[in-house]
Amino acid sequence: MEVKKSIKKLFNKFSSSPDRILVTGGMGYIGSHTVVELINAGYEVCIIDNLSNSSVDVLNGIEKITGVRPVFENIDCTDYVALDKFFKKYEGIKAIIHFAALKAVGESVERPLPYYRNNLTSLINILELMPLNGIKSIVFSSSCTVYGQPDELPVKETAPIKKALSPYGNTKQICEEIIHDTIHSNDKIKSIILRYFNPIGAHPSAEIGELPNGVPNNLLPYVAQAAAGIRKKLKVFGGDYNTPDGSCIRDYIDIMDLAKAHVCAMKRLIDGKVESVETFNLGTGRGLSVLEIIKTFEEVNDIKVPYEMADRREGDIEQVWADPTYANEVLKWEAKESVKNTLRSVWKWQMHLMEQEEDHTKGGGMISGS
Ligand code: NAD
Ligand code: UFG
């Protein structure tokens, strides 16, 4: 690890000028893991984040893993003027990866307007500022939620986009359309849209991972907190679906595999291989049920997950998994990590969080987001 860090520092010192990439939302879950992979691949990374769902401590984790502390500015992407200033300050940005968004499906149903304002305005600002600052390439974080319940599984990128089941899902559909329309009107801009399935896990070092705010909405943080005794019981939302064991099926993809796909996308854009817009599914191609995830988590970590069957959660899709062939062939990328290892990394991260919390409590503080 130490040798790797020294080589990277030497590389950065002597290489003429690594490509500079702006990562919006780079302090968040997927963004921080992608920043690590971008740095490891030799890119210079700048991060913009308003810390609405992340903590500045993430920078320490990134630095511990890579030996590099990327530039970070606390900027809200809905603030056009602040963004413009940023682009003037950090000239020469080659490409953008735009993660910054609000992402809680249920919350978006209760409070749709902040979702539309945040997710749409951020993207529009960035797309407007790109040509003004000579930036031609953008990777956009979309979601398999755009497919709703697909008629055919595994779902391909060419599957019809159905009416979104939530305002959050709608923002992803509209953002994809905004990107298409923008590039139709300005053929100098190129984009890769990545439709993520269900990212889970943490960096193997456990220096960074998912930091859910308050009670987790997503399955794995809840599983880990229930196993740790922080939550009483996990509720399995629905046992009467038309699936082999009655619980919902998803395509759970390791966070490091997902992060690596962004490096492949970035390389393809910077190499000038994208003609206008390309859209890729990022998944493993394999569906697992909620009950299978719980069972495997228990087995590999040798710990019980207290759970009970509960009513269906409104808006949940019964089953979805990816056909990742297009990404495999064109991005030359595939998801490699086993779900067992990924579930080990979930537990390792949970234990890291608890150790940190213990240290902070002894010191009189609390860690954010736990
Ligand atoms: P996250 O909440 O951990 O990260 C998003 C980051 O963006 C946070 O650090 C937040 O503080 C920041 N942010 C939000 N609005 C901002 C704004 N206006 N200006 C600046 N920063 C802002 O979420 P994540 O899981 O890392 O998701 C990243 C992207 O991937 C999002 O666009 C999300 O919709 C998409 N996505 C996530 C999943 C998933 O399951 N995690 C699945 C599909 C798509
Ligand atoms: N689940 C439970 N109990 C819980 C939490 C989740 O049974 O406490 C179940 C859900 O019902 C679902 C599965 O676990 O069947 C996965 O649920 P998540 O909330 O972890 O993930 P979703 O598939 O609902 O949504 C996630 C992200 C969205 C994204 C979507 C598709 O939260 O942002 O994947 O990419 F849009």
Strand 288-289 with 249-250, pairing = antiparallel
Predicted pLDDT at 4: 62
How much is the mean pLDDT over the chain? 94
Higher pLDDT, 14 or 219: 219
CB atoms closer than 10 angstroms to residue 351: 14
Ligand 2 contact via 236 beta carbon (within 6 Å): yes
Element (H, E) at 193: strand 190-196
CB atoms closer than 10 angstroms to residue 150: 19
Instruction: Tell me the C-alpha to C-alpha distance, in Å, between residue 99 and each of 161, 194, 293, 302.
Output: 21, 11, 26, 34
- Binned at pLDDT 50, 70 and 90, residue 315 comes out as confident
Q: What would the mean pLDDT of 131-145 be, rounded to a whole number? A: 97
- Binned at pLDDT 50, 70 and 90, residue 368 comes out as very low
Beta-ladder partners of 279: 193
Predicted pLDDT at 16: 66
Active site residue 326: no
Report d(CA 53, CA 218) in Å as an integer.
14
Of all protein residues, the one whose alpha carbon is nearest to atom 27 of ligand 1 is 30
- Binned at pLDDT 50, 70 and 90, residue 370 comes out as very low
Predicted pLDDT at 17: 85
Q: What would the mean pLDDT of 154-173 be, rounded to a whole number? A: 94
**Which ligand 1 atom is at minimum distance from the Cα of 121?**
18
Instruction: Tell me the C-alpha to C-alpha distance, in Å, between residue 293 and each of 110, 223, 251, 256.
Output: 29, 9, 11, 18
Residue 10 pLDDT exceeds 70: no
34-93 pLDDT, tens digit per residue, is 999 999 999 999 999 999 999 999 999 999 999 999 999 999 999 999 999 999 999 999
Predicted pLDDT at 106: 85
